[in-house]
Amino acid sequence: MRDVSTLQKIPVGQSEWSSIKAEGLLLVNKTALLPDLVKIPKVSLARPHGFGKTMLLSMLEDLFTHGTQNFRNTELRYLWPRRERYPVVRISFSNVPSAQEADQAADDVTAFEQGLISELGRAYQKAGFAPEEIEADQKEANLHDFLAQLSGLSHRKRLVCLIDDWDAPLLAQLDNKPRYDAIQKSLNVFYHWLSTLSLRFLLVTGIMHFQHKGVVDISMQPDFARLLGYTQSDVEASFCAYIELAAQRLKMDVYDFLLTLQCYYQGFCFDQDAKVKLYSPLDINRFFAQFHASDQTPSYGNFWLDAQGDSWLMRALIERALSGQLAIESLDQIRTNLVELDRQDLIKPPLFTDNALFPLLTLYGYLTIQEPVLAQRNKRRFVCGCSNDLITVEVLVRFLRAQGVH
């Protein structure tokens, strides 16, 4: 049997390209897809949590800051002939407060705007701007005035801007429409300002589709379906040694083990042609990482769903089930993959009404595209369902328990 100590360790809970490379951790190489991505000047990409959005931004930050010097053993070294370097402003809205405190007025977004100012100040300094060039007393700064000051700095150098979790402040307020609208108003100010800058490249990621003039949403484009998440060939090529070891410990042949892995973890699909079925990197990484923690038989844990934690969506669905608003027919639709949605259902912002149930489940990744339905009157529709067996079972169990069925 293969010695586990000889296997390349798997990055669990790590999403920074430079540290993963420095530590020699196992990495599924997606670098060959980056040149086509950066040909689009302004782009957005929506994926559920656990699909590697932060890792993608980290790679791009390294690439635009240092060129290909940290990509020597990848195809990108030959596909990226440029020697250009750019200051990279990379921010994450998950680091910005979302005005959730109970004692705040619905329209009081001061904490959010101050948090955004602080995050921008940090990012501009990391991009190479001197602290004295950025307003010193950020706590007293007004968002409009602070953005106006950054405009002067931004026009001196052409920037790359990378935005992670753009929708985090909104997702935290899905059950509070007044605060949602107030924060959305501040975000509109920020993105209008961003649209005035002459950027080399802009990438905006989140789980909600980013709809803004001039920004191309590639979330459902087949050409970029493999950019995030693991394909079957990714898993078989990058984890071949782990696959062999797993089959031995589970007393299965490799073919049967791979079929089991597909049933439990594969099935996420986001492209409009429904051609590419994906694994969540979180599921695969944590499944195989078990080999370094124990010499016992690995378990098929639902790592992706467990990592979602006590999300707003699950809490809201359970509340609706307890109040009788969530009909058992909805569960049957989920179980039998009979949910049919059109393109607008998949890309529009979440609603605050009961009819948003299935779009919300798709937004968070519990439901995913199964197959396209022929377009009628130029309106394309999709059959959607749970991505894999584990999610089907877990979602139904949670809903049924909420309704008192055991």
Residue 154 in any domain: the answer is yes
Note whether 252 and 360 are same-domain residues: no
Residue 214 in any domain: the answer is yes
Residue 307 is which amino acid?
Answer: A
Note whether 213 and 359 are same-domain residues: no
**Residue 103: is its pLDDT beyond 50?**
no
100 or 211: which leads in pLDDT: 211
Note whether 43 and 139 are same-domain residues: yes
**Residue 152: is its pLDDT beyond 90?**
no
Note whether 301 and 249 are same-domain residues: yes
Residue 9 in any domain: the answer is no
Please tell me the least confidently modeled range out of 126-130, 137-141, 179-183, 373-377: 137-141
Note whether 202 and 283 are same-domain residues: no
Please tell me the least confidently modeled range out of 59-68, 137-146, 377-386: 137-146
Note whether 47 and 196 are same-domain residues: yes
Burial of 25 (C-beta count, 10 Å sphere; 0-12/13-18/19+): middle
Q: Which of the listed residues 222, 251, 271 is the one where a domain comes to its end?
A: 222
Note whether 111 and 211 are same-domain residues: yes
The pLDDT-based confidence of 192 (bands split at 50, 70, 90) is: very high
Note whether 319 and 395 are same-domain residues: yes
**Residue 292: is its pLDDT beyond 60?**
yes
Residue 3 in any domain: the answer is no
Note whether 146 and 31 are same-domain residues: yes
Residue 393 in any domain: the answer is yes
pLDDT score at 238 = 93
Note whether 102 and 196 are same-domain residues: yes
**Residue 122: is its pLDDT beyond 50?**
yes
The pLDDT-based confidence of 309 (bands split at 50, 70, 90) is: low
The pLDDT-based confidence of 138 (bands split at 50, 70, 90) is: low
CATH number at residue 128: 3.40.50
Mean per-residue pLDDT, 138-152? 81
Residue 134 in any domain: the answer is yes
Q: Which of the listed residues 222, 247, 277 is the one where a domain comes to its end?
A: 222
Note whether 260 and 282 are same-domain residues: yes
Residue 58 in any domain: the answer is yes
43-89 pLDDT, tens digit each: 999 999 999 999 999 999 999 998 888 887 777 877 787 777 899 99
Domain count, the chain: 3
228-255 pLDDT, tens digit each: 999 999 999 999 999 999 998 889 999 9
Note whether 59 and 167 are same-domain residues: yes
Q: Which of the listed residues 270, 305, 340 is the one where a domain comes to its end?
A: 305
Residue 6 in any domain: the answer is no
315-368 pLDDT, tens digit each: 666 566 555 555 555 666 666 667 888 888 888 876 665 556 778 888 888 889
Give the domain range for residue 294.
229-305
